[in-house]
């Protein structure tokens, strides 16, 4: 969270932003458990990647160092893959090398017929090398795990070959992963292929209607409403109204807090005060903070369009 706030301060107060970035890295680096420390440093790196490449690279290298000290072989494999994904933003050659190391460990450590560990590594590979991940996905016999790899790789292909990307989504067997892929492709295409983005939004909307998870439904509707706002404002508004209707059905308080953050972001596309009002209704501290960060990130992104 602190890393993301640092990124938001970068343009108007570089000194404060730099202090916050340093604090984020220091907090993550002070975590005792090397597995958790590595994951958290990788997340911090991701939060700094756009506005503070040097800080992001430093956090990614620290994530890699922590990953190498994880005693459990399976946990070390996942930590290495996650660190590699963080490294990829600034040092693709090293990230590729670390991913290859993680793949070798996964192959040696996995006795599960479903090939869970290699699949988990391929999920991270998909972020950096989607074609490579797709080429290796057939090695995963479990259709659900293979579908997760596909769902992570597909959005990375969308801008270059949108029709292929949208066709591949139909090969993802699990409904929620398919919904996530449609949403991510919609976002990837929003500015470069707006009409295809609307088509992806329609598919996300249709699939979301089959989900019994109201939080999944709301997130899908709210996120595609945000993405297609410029391409089809009237449709975006209908999607937002549908998201608001689903929000009224979310009963569990913590789930409702998480849902409110996504809803506030989409509402802010039309009316900043409306989004802020929704965010202020969140009662849980962390989701409330996350909602306001998401809201400001969304407003900054909207200003840049």
At residue 283, the 3 state secondary structure works out as: coil
Report the C-alpha gap between 300 and 297 in whole angstroms: 5
Work out the burial of residue 164: count CB atoms within 10 Å of its CB; fewer than 13 is exposed, 13-18 middle, 19 or more buried. exposed
Q: How does residue 30 score in pLDDT terms, banded at 50, 70 and 90?
A: very high
Average pLDDT of the chain, as a whole number: 90
pTM of the model: 0.87
Instruction: Annotate 203-270 with DSSP letters as a single string.
Output: HHHHHHTT-S-HHHHHHHHHHHHHHTTTT-HHHHHHHHHHHHHHHTT--SHHHHHHHHHHHHHHHHTT
φ, ψ of residue 59 in degrees (nearest 5)? -65, -40
Report the C-alpha gap between 60 and 85 in whole angstroms: 9
pLDDT for 155 beyond 80: yes
> For residue 14, what pLDDT is reported?
84
> For residue 3, what pLDDT is reported?
87
Contacts of residue 6, Cβ cutoff 8 Å, sequence gap at least 6 = 17, 18, 20, 21, 24, 47, 48, 51, 52, 55
Q: For residue range 105-149, what is the model confidence (pLDDT) as tens digits?
A: 888 877 666 578 888 999 889 888 999 999 888 888 888 898 999
Q: What is the mean pLDDT of residues 17-39?
A: 92
> For residue 238, what pLDDT is reported?
96
Greatest Cα pair distance in the chain:
54
Other C-beta atoms closer than 10 Å to the C-beta of 30 total 9
Going by C-alpha positions, the residue among 7, 2, 39, 1 that lies closest to residue 300 is 7
Distance of alpha carbon 215 from its chain centroid, rounded?
A: 16
Other C-beta atoms closer than 10 Å to the C-beta of 190 total 22
> For residue 15, what pLDDT is reported?
87
Q: For residue range 33-59, what is the model confidence (pLDDT) as tens digits?
A: 999 999 999 999 998 887 788 889 999
Q: For residue range 176-226, what is the model confidence (pLDDT) as tens digits?
A: 999 999 999 999 999 999 999 999 999 999 999 999 999 999 999 999 999
φ, ψ of residue 124 in degrees (nearest 5)? -75, -35
Count CA atoms within 13 Å of residue 193 on its CB side: 17
pLDDT for 237 beyond 60: yes
> For residue 224, what pLDDT is reported?
96
Report the C-alpha gap between 57 and 67 in whole angstroms: 15
At residue 50, the 3 state secondary structure works out as: coil
């Amino acid at each position: 969270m602190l890393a993301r706030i640092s990124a938001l301060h970068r343009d108007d107060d570089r000194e404060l932003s730099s202090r916050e970035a340093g604090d984020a890295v220091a907090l993550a680096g002070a975590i005792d458990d090397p597995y958790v420390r590595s994951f958290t440093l990788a997340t911090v790196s991701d939060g700094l990647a756009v506005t503070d490449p040097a800080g992001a690279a430093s956090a990614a290298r620290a994530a890699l160092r922590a990953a190498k000290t994880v005693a459990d072989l399976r946990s070390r494999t996942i930590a290495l893959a996650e660190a590699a994904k963080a490294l990829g933003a600034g040092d693709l050659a090293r990230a590729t090398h670390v991913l290859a190391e993680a793949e070798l460990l996964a192959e040696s450590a996995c006795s599960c017929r479903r090939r869970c560990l290699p699949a988990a590594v391929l999920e991270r590979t998909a972020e950096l090398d989607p074609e490579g991940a797709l080429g290796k996905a057939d090695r995963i016999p479990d259709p659900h795990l293979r579908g997760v790899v596909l769902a992570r790789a597909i959005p990375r292909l969308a801008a270059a070959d949108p029709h292929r990307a949208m066709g591949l989504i139909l090969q993802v067997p699990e409904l929620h992963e398919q919904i996530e892929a449609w949403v991510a492709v919609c976002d990837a295409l929003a500015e470069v292929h707006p009409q295809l983005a609307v088509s992806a939004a329609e598919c996300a909307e249709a699939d979301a209607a089959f989900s019994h998870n109201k939080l999944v439904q709301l997130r899908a509707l709210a996120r595609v409403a945000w993405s297609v706002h410029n391409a089809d404002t009237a449709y975006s508004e209908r999607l937002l109204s549908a998201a608001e209707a689903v929000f009224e059905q979310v009963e569990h308080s913590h789930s409702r807090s998480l849902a409110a953050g996504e809803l506030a972001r989409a509402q802010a596309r039309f009316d900043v005060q409306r989004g802020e009002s929704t965010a202020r209704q969140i009662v849980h501290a962390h989701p409330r903070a996350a909602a306001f960060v998401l809201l400001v990130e969304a407003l900054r992104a909207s200003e840049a369009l």
